[in-house]
Chains A and B, each alone.
Chain A
């Protein structure tokens, strides 16, 4: 988009950068070919009437020095012939273009500020992306198994879906499941997440070893409840589960008699 360097010459285009170049004066008489008028003396040198009371521009505001190419004194009289090849470079030094900071200090400062603005913006985007990609990892908490199935013959049916793992796990396996549950609170979260499903699976899976089941599971169930919720009193937990069993049992049984799949 930057077109500053390739623009064709135009009047008004950047005459800057050559401080002291007094181009505002038509003082180049020498090159004028014969036959045409050369630059003439300014007629107003004779004292053209000036607008009375015209305020002197820019006297009030600081850095903009709008000293015109031809200088007039306070009364508005031209100070000299405008087209005389005067060496008035010092005066032109004062007529600096508006905004231009020849030292380049301002530009450096602005660039620094711009970069400083980029930093929070970039940080924002980076943070945004990180939050979109990140997020806490949740470890599944232990959820106690429903009691009713364990004491009821319907359990085998229902467990059919439970497919997986610990098929061969006998009572001893379930006991180790209880041991797992005991270690739950201290175990790291990830480990809990891993260890819980097998424990859960133990009960349904025990279907294969149907006879061994009832004893094993009953021993297992209180284990997790007490171990898993240290805050809740184990006894109430156990009794509550027991009572829940009685109420929930009927429905579960009825349901589990139907083929599950």
Chain B
């Protein structure tokens, strides 16, 4: 959840002008983001397919075999090596007294080398039917297998039951494995053993269609005549007994060098080979045993390179996934930690300020307060704002600074004829300038700054200035609430405001590192502002900038939850986007401007190391990671355990809900709108992190934002202002 910890200007209803000026803000980042997301998705798709779709399961038959009507009789009763399935099928058998050792599912980093050692010691060659994913993971083993004179066959890429796959998938399985072998050992092989195959008489129609397709692709299928059944790990003696042929017929012996603990296989081989040799058996590769002509051949250069590329790509994907997994865990842990800290802090803050033992700030503050209302084209809301201020139960001096409005805002205020209200007009110069003008005109030591469209509660002014009884207090943040809570968007923002104000702000207050006093409702000590030189205009979030400067100057900035002001939230996604873009970019600017606080001592250091670090982590880094989180979540739903992913998601949602409930309770709000929290995950969340992406990119590239404001300047000079205010919605001046 994005929290409005940097709520600077809680209005965002901006009029959309006809963008006369070309947009200078970069679009490159969207292209970049799209490309990166697509690449990541492709990589995840590949990884998910290769690692999580099938996998080496026990070699038991995957299901009941079907009818075997189409399997030719001479194949069903023939030798284990089947060629020409698509055209004129024929089979071959190993010669008598010849054993072709075959090992499936490898290579395996533990067992394959041991088996190779046994074979080498006995001067025996065997055939290894390798699985593509294993080849990718251990290409050096494949090289060793080939280098030591053994034969390579393929056992598909991901060990699926080929009979259950569509033809294109079968083809993919075969080609990718071949590529991996070509990349790893620079050879291609025509030997194929389909996973879950056994002997000829077990072939059914589906298997036969696989064999036919494989033959069309140039493969010779190698089944087995003797199964050591070592995959069941029945004990070395049993494996040995299974593997010992009866009679003198040649055999293709099926064993496994991967897929689990193969120590029994290794042990059985140590005994089996010398024993059978003594009985007059010869050991050879499958190719030699049946007199096949060169099933393993050197790969072409192109295939070799492509194979290497495949291996590297998959390995890179593995690393990416591992890294992302770590990041996901870290992000999750940080989020949970934050929730815990924020909840504890909010509770403590509440007891500190509202509890029975709460200490008052000091003697009640009763002195007159200057209220500055900067207004630019606020004719729609200014009356309500000013009237609500006049109705305050605290003596106030209201200064409306009209920043060159074109809709008669100043005239409107003047026509109200309210006592204690002054209007100052200035040429349109921006909000910081208007604030400075108001500051210069203010006669009181305490200054409250209000948005032109924000309505104060009658007691808000009195409440917000009470903390100034403490001479160390430099600024006070009030509690801004969304007035337009209708609709999903309003509800979401309402939630965001309540949670952000009530949890994050309390934490900041306790930690003495408040980064923002919202422009909509904030009170300042005038002399503190003047010491800083007034409101600066070098950032778009002048209130954040100002607050950080105050913190660094040693002033305490506190949160006063009782000072409630009602403000209007953007009512459309576009308006919300613009508002948040400005906030986010402005906050980044302010953070950068005050980055020196990180290494400073005292209260500046508190701001730097607590406040800025918090903002950096939760408002910049985590949102930047969020697109990856979304892609990864989809990946998990598709390829990993969907139940677990959903449960994880629900757990985080529950955490948010709990935080929301607590915040709502603290604020005395009815928890009704919280039902829309789950929906928030699907539009709002993406909007919030995309804003951060765009802001960061804008900041890094140093591009100049050309906001509507620029056009206004222009239009002010030309009397024919096409963009008359209020055509769409009344533009608001956020304070």
Closest to A5 in B: B19
Q: How far, in Å, is B439 (CB) from chain A's closest CB? A: 8
Additional 6 contacts, C-beta under 8 A, given A140-B215, A192-B293:
A35-B414, A57-B549, A118-B35, A136-B299, A138-B190, A140-B219
What residues of B have a CB within 8 angstroms of the CB of A196 in the complex?
83-84
Q: Is A41 an interface residue (CB 8 A)?
A: yes
Which residues 83-102 of B have a CB within 8 angstroms of A? Answer: 83-84, 87-98
The 9 residue pairs across chains A and B that have the minimum distance between CB atoms = A11-B431, A23-B429, A68-B533, A135-B175, A8-B14, A101-B702, A26-B437, A14-B707, A8-B15
CB within 8 Å of A: which of B55-83?
Answer: 72-74, 77-79, 81, 83
Q: Is B553 an interface residue (CB 8 A)?
A: yes
Q: How far is the CA of A99 from the CA of B95 in the complex (A)?
A: 79
Task: Collect the chain B residues with CB atoms within 8 Å of residue A114's CB.
Answer: 28-29, 31-32
Choice from A128, A143, A164, A252 contacting B87 with Cβ under 8 Å: A164
Contact B537 A95 (CB under 8 A): yes
CB-CB under 8 A from B292, the residues of chain A are: 141-144, 228-229
Q: CB of A12 within 8 A of chain B?
A: yes
> Which of A17, A117, A243, A258 is B710 in contact with, Cβ under 8 Å?
A17
Q: Which of A44-52, A168-176, A210-218 forms contacts with chain B?
A: A44-52
B21, B30, B306, B422 — most chain A CB neighbours (10 Å): B306
How distant is the Cα of A117 from the Cα of B219 in the complex, in angstroms? 41
A151 is an interface residue with CB less than 8 A from chain B? no
B535 to chain A, nearest CB (A): 8
**B289: nearest residue on chain A (CB-CB)?**
A240
Complex-state Cα separation, A139 to B91, whole angstroms: 17
A26 and B424: CB pair below 8 A?
A: yes
Give the chain A neighbours of B519 by CB distance below 8 A.
11-12
Determine whether B195 belongs to the interface, using a CB cutoff of 8 Å to chain A. no
Whether A8 pairs with B552 at a CB distance below 8 angstroms is no
Give A254's nearest chain B residue, CB to CB. Answer: B77
Q: In whole angstroms, what is the CA distance A35 to B413 when docked? A: 12
| A80 smallest CB distance to B (angstroms) | 12
B16–A6 touching, CB < 8 Å: yes
Q: Which listed residue, A8, A130, A143, A256, touches B13 by the CB 8 Å rule?
A: A8
A2 touches B23 (CB 8 A): yes
Q: List 15 A-B contacts (CB under 8 A).
A: A11-B733, A12-B8, A21-B713, A28-B426, A40-B441, A58-B593, A66-B545, A69-B535, A121-B36, A121-B38, A139-B218, A143-B84, A144-B290, A161-B74, A184-B293
Q: Mark A77-104, 1 if CB is under 8 A from B, else 0.
A: 0100011000000000001111111101
Cα–Cα, bound, A141→B240 (Å): 32
Q: Mark A206-232, 1 if CB is under 8 A from B, else 0.
A: 000000000000000000110111011
Q: A36-B425, A95-B538, A229-B294 are in contact. Are A24 and B433 (CB under 8 A)?
A: yes
Instruction: Verify B73–A24 contact, CB threshold 8 A.
Output: no
In the assembled complex, B541 has its CB within 8 A of some CB on chain A = yes
Q: Tell me, yes or no, whether B313 is within 8 Å of chain A by CB.
A: yes
Is A178 an interface position by the 8 A CB rule?
no
CB < 8 Å neighbour of B588 from A99, A125, A204? A99
Say whether B539 contacts A24, CB under 8 Å.
Answer: no
Cβ–Cβ contact A125 & B91, under 8 A: no
With A26-B426, A28-B426, A229-B292 already in contact, the answer to whether A12 and B582 are too (CB < 8 A) is yes
Complex-state Cα separation, A210 to B87, whole angstroms:
21
Q: Is B513 an interface residue (CB 8 A)?
A: no
Interface residue B708 (Cβ < 8 Å from any Cβ of A):
yes
- Nearest B residue to A78, CB-CB: B530
Q: With A132-B172, A141-B295 in contact, do A98 and B538 touch (Cβ < 8 Å)?
A: yes
Q: Which of B408-444 contact A (CB under 8 A)?
A: 410, 414, 422-434, 436-437, 440-443
Instruction: Report which of A4, A13, A131, A227 forms a contact with B309, defined as CB distance below 8 A.
Output: A131
Q: Any chain A CB within 8 A of the CB of B673?
A: no
User: A191 on the interface (CB 8 Å rule)?
Assistant: no
- In the complex, whether B179 has a CB less than 8 A from a CB of chain A is yes
- Residues on A with C-beta less than 8 A from B313 are 124, 127-128, 131
Closest to B693 in A: A1
A247 CA to B249 CA in the complex, in Å?
Answer: 7
Between A and B, how many residue pairs show CB distances below 8 Å? Answer: 510
Tell me, yes or no, whether B709 is within 8 Å of chain A by CB. Answer: yes
Docked pose: A251 CA to B578 CA in angstroms: 83
Q: A109 — nearest CB in chain B belongs to which residue?
A: B701
Stretch at the interface among B39-47, B332-340, B647-655: B39-47
Q: Is the CB–CB distance between A3 and B443 below 8 Å?
A: no
Given contacts A8-B15, A48-B527, A76-B531, contact A106 B701 (CB under 8 A): yes
Roughly how many angstroms separate A48 CA and B190 CA in the complex, as a whole number? 92
> Which of B24, B300, B555 is in CB contact (< 8 Å) with A51?
B555
> What residues on A are CB-neighbors of B35 within 8 Å?
117-118, 121-122
A115 to B32, CA, bound (A): 7
Residue pair B429, A140 in contact (C-beta under 8 Å) = no
Chain B contacts for A143, CB-based, 8 A? 81, 83-84, 90, 92, 220, 290, 292-293
Given the known A-B contacts A58-B596, A71-B533, A137-B218, are A9 and B437 also in contact in the complex, defined by CB atoms under 8 Å? no
A14 lies within 8 A of B701 (CB): no
The minimal Cβ–Cβ distance linking A68 to chain B, given in whole angstroms, is: 3
> Complex: how many Å from CA A169 to CA B536?
99
Q: Which of B39, B423, B425 contacts A31 (CB 8 A)?
A: B425
Distance to closest chain B CB from A130 (angstroms): 7
Asked if B626 CB lies within 8 Å of chain A CBs, one says no
Among A53, A111, A122, A145, the one with the most B-chain Cβ atoms within 10 Å of its Cβ is A111
**Is B724 an interface residue when CB atoms closer than 8 A count as contact?**
no
Q: With contacts A9-B376, A12-B9, A68-B534 known, is A117 near B702, CB below 8 A?
A: no
A235 proximal to B (CB < 8 A): no
A225–B92 Cα distance when bound, in Å, is 12
Is A136 in contact with B436, judged by CB distance below 8 angstroms? no
Smallest CB separation, A109 vs chain B (Å): 8
Known A-B contacts A48-B530, A95-B538; the reply to A144 vs B707 at CB < 8 A is no
User: Is A146's CB under 8 angstroms from B27's CB?
Assistant: no
B377 at the interface (CB under 8 A from A): yes
Q: Quick one: which of B43, B527, B728 contacts A50, CB cutoff 8 A?
A: B527
